[in-house]
Structure formats: structure tokens, C-alpha cells
């Protein structure tokens, strides 16, 4: 059944005139007559009483008209919704973001996109990299911002965002606070305030400790930057955070120190699933992010 045939029938039924319907639709009267005959043939019932004086709907025509209006309304709503999506007036993007590092590195991406497309809904879920990868894989997330990038040949498309070294944060009264740089092995006997186990950076720090022949003394694990810093302020231990976040630390009691040599870098990347349909809103978000990285901050 052609949607245009229902449109022609509805217009004729409204005016009870082929001539007026033709004028309204800007379609020739023979074309409308042919469409309605085809519709009657398809349904197997007459839709109009045709006489020399007046055009009237049959009982079947009245029933078809009620349903035709519903179908045409639904079709028009669908067309409008698709237009909104195509023009990015609506839509949704579900993004996984690491709570400690996400906002510092990703907020400008989001704000730039929202300026262009204010009606697109962006839903952020704060979890560690491991859960973000799982979410992108199972489709519960459209895009993920992750620490440490997947290997080539994985199931993800990857957009590299930044590579940022971790730095040491200690209280001003700490014995290391007077140094300009620190060797990683000097942390052997320090109490570590660390990321939770579902964070990839947790694994990286443990690996770096092993390379320096010690097991870290972990006194606390958290996913919140402010909590980590508060624990260091309380002289409960030391913490490691990316340098870009450290630049924004505004606490007089804390000292931030770089390492002489260290292989611990925050490799931040944006991932989405390969060979999967992406909505217009998601594709445009990826495109906007690429443009942002090319231009630079």
C-alpha cells in the first residue's frame, strides 16, 4: 500500500471532491482517481458512492478514513523525527568517562559539541576503563574515554586524545617534598593512595612498582580525585595523578613532583565499536572531536 494513496484518499474524503483535492495536493485529478481505484482494488471494497450530484463515503470508506488519518499522522511524525535526527536537533549519546581524569580532558569536547547541537542529549557514565570497554562492546555505551589504548586489531576504533605523564603528589612536610625530581624506587616504603582496581592506571602503577622491585603498600583506593588529594593533605600517604590535573591543584599543603624517568603515562583515547551502525549524533560527536584535536586547545 502506497502512503501517497492514503494521502490522496484522505484529501478527497475531507473535501468530498476530486477537484478540490487536486487543487490542494497540486496533483492531476486523473492521478488521484487512479490512486483511489488502486486502493479500492487492493482493499476489495468501494470507498465512495459516486453520483452525478455528490460524492459520499461508504461505511468502509469511513472506517478506512479513521485509520488513514492515524497512519498519515504517524508517518508525518516519523518524517519530522528523522529530520530532527539528520539535522542533529535531537538524539542521544551515551559516553563512558573515567571519574578521576575524564572531566579535565573531555569537558571541552562536550561543551564545544553542545554549543553546536544543544538539543542532543549527552549521558555520561563515570566508571573505570575496564567497564567502559565492556560497555562499548555490549552496546550500553556509544563512546568511551579510556586510559591506555587497546592494541591494534581490537574490536574498537580509536581516536588518540593525549599522552600525559603521571606525577607524584606529597604533603609539604614529606621528606621528598624538597626534591626537584623523584626516582620511582624512592616510593618503595611509602603508603600509596591509589585508584580502584577497575582502573587501568591501577594496573600500570602496580606494574611500575614491580619493575622497581617492590610491592606498593596500598592504604586506600578511590575513584575520586578530591578524596585522593584530601588523603594526601591528611598525611595518609602519597598519590599519583596526570600532570594536566596536577596543574589545576590549588592546595598550599601539597607539593607536585615529576619523576626522573618513568613509563607511567596516561594514554587517553576515545573508542567506539568497529563495524557497528553509529547514529548521526554519535558520528558528528566523533567528527567534532577530531576537529578539536587537529586545531588544538
Q: In this predicted model, what pLDDT tens digit does every residue of 3-28 receive, in sequence order?
A: 999 999 999 999 999 999 999 999 99
User: The domain containing residue 13 runs over which residues?
Assistant: 3-86
Question: Is the pTM of the predicted complex or chain greater than 0.75?
Answer: no
For 237-296, write each residue's pLDDT tens digit: 999 998 888 888 888 899 999 999 867 888 888 999 988 888 888 988 999 888 888 765
Pick the range with the lowest mean pLDDT from 24-38, 56-70, 271-285: 271-285
User: Do 143 and 272 sit in the same domain of this protein?
Assistant: yes
Domain count, the chain: 3
Strands (E) located in the chain: 48-50, 55-57, 92-97, 121-126, 143-147, 156-171, 191-195, 217-222, 239-242, 254-257, 265-273
- What integer pLDDT is reported at residue 179 of this predicted model? 94
User: Do 137 and 276 sit in the same domain of this protein?
Assistant: yes
User: Do 127 and 211 sit in the same domain of this protein?
Assistant: no
Question: What is the end-to-end Cα distance of the chain in Å, rounded?
Answer: 54
Q: Give me the mean pLDDT over the 176-203 stretch.
A: 91
Q: What CATH number is attached to the domain comprising 206? A: 3.40.190.10
Measured CA to CA, the distance from residue 207 to residue 30 in angstroms comes to: 80
291 forms beta bridges with none
CB contact at 8 A, 168 and 238: yes
Amino acid at each position: 500500500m502506497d502512503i501517497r494513496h492514503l494521502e490522496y484518499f484522505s484529501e478527497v474524503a475531507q473535501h468530498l471532491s476530486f477537484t478540490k483535492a487536486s487543487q490542494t495536493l497540486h496533483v492531476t485529478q486523473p492521478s488521484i482517481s487512479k490512486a483511489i481505484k488502486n486502493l479500492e482494488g487492493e482493499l476489495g471494497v468501494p470507498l465512495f458512492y459516486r453520483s452525478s450530484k455528490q460524492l459520499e463515503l461508504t461505511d468502509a470508506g469511513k472506517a478506512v478514513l479513521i485509520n488513514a488519518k492515524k497512519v498519515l499522522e504517524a508517518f508525518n511524525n516519523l518524517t519530522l523525527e528523522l529530520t530532527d535526527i539528520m539535522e542533529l536537533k535531537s538524539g542521544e549519546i551515551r559516553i563512558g568517562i573515567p571519574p578521576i581524569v575524564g572531566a579535565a580532558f573531555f569537558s571541552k569536547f562536550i561543551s564545544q559539541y553542545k554549543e553546536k547541537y544543544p538539543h542532543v542529549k549527552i549521558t555520561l557514565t563515570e566508571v573505570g576503563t575496564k567497564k567502559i570497554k565492556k560497555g562499548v562492546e555490549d552496546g550500553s555505551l556509544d563512546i568511551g574515554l579510556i586510559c591506555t589504548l587497546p592494541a591494534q586489531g581490537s574490536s574498537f576504533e580509536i581516536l588518540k586524545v593525549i599522552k600525559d605523564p603521571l606525577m607524584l603528589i606529597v604533603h609539604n612536610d614529606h621528606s621528598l617534598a624538597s626534591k626537584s625530581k623523584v626516582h620511582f624506587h624512592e616510593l618503595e616504603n611509602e603508603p600509596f593512595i591509589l585508584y580502584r582496581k577497575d582502573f587501568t592506571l591501577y594496573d600500570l602503577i602496580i606494574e611500575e612498582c614491580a619493575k622497581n622491585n617492590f610491592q606498593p603498600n596500598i592504604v586506600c583506593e578511590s575513584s575520586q580525585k578530591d578524596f585522593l588529594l584530601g588523603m594526601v593533605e591528611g598525611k595518609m600517604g602519597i598519590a599519583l595523578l596526570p600532570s594536566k590535573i596536577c596543574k589545576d591543584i590549588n592546595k598550599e599543603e601539597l607539593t607536585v613532583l615529576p619523576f626522573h624517568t618513568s613509563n607511567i603515562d596516561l594514554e587517553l583515547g576515545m573508542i567506539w565499536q568497529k563495524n557497528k551502525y553509529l547514529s548521526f549524533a554519535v558520528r558528528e560527536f566523533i567528527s567534532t572531536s577530531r576537529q578539536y584535536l587537529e586545531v588544538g586547545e
